[in-house]
Amino acid sequence: MNRKTYTKIFLKSAGVAVTEENISVSMRVWWQNNRTKSQGGLRLTEKGLDFVRTTLDLAVYEVPFPTGFDLKPQVIIFLDRFIDCPYFLTDRSITVLSERKCFELYLFNGDVQKYGITKAMRSKKATEEEN
């Protein structure tokens, strides 16, 4: 699903009218990246995370990063591409809305850099096999 679809679902679940104006305003407030993308871009802002936690009362799963982990721009790009559910980043952890994604990240001990590299390598291998 993309940001617009999630936004519509969140609005409807909160009992808010799903109008183009409400969608537009909510997308600017809830999502970190406002550029249109065909894939990824599901990083929430602090207000977006607060909305899903408090207003919608959705379960969220926080995965701490390893001690001394440095969240580099390339890691953020990997996350933007490969995390397929809404998520929120701090310098100490990632919070996801998917229990499955939480489990995957725990398998990497919260090392989202290794997670992103592994996903990128698998994606590249799959593309090569298709050709």
Residues near 109 by Cβ (< 8 Å), separated by ≥ 6?
A: 66
Whole-number pLDDT of residue 38: 61
Mean pLDDT of successive 10-residue stretches along the chain, which has 131 residues: 94 97 96 73 95 96 91 87 92 94 90 83 76 64
Whole-number pLDDT of residue 125: 75
Give the C-alpha separation, 48 to 27, whole Å: 9
Give the start-to-end residue ranges of the domains of the chain. Answer: 3-130
Whole-number pLDDT of residue 131: 64
- Burial (CB count <10 Å: 0-12, 13-18, 19+), residue 5: exposed
> Residue written as tokens 């407030």?
29
The residues facing 94 across adjacent strands are 63, 89
In this structure, what DSSP letter does residue 45 have? -
Q: What is the pTM of this model?
A: 0.85
In this structure, what DSSP letter does residue 72 have? -
Sheet of 87-89: strand order equals 61-64, 93-96, 87-89
Whole-number pLDDT of residue 77: 86
Please answer whether residues 42 and 84 qualify as being in contact, where contact means their C-beta atoms are separated by less than 8 angstroms. yes
Q: Residue 10, SS3?
A: helix
Whole-number pLDDT of residue 89: 95
Please answer whether residues 18 and 12 qualify as being in contact, where contact means their C-beta atoms are separated by less than 8 angstroms. yes
> Residue written as tokens 């936690």?
53
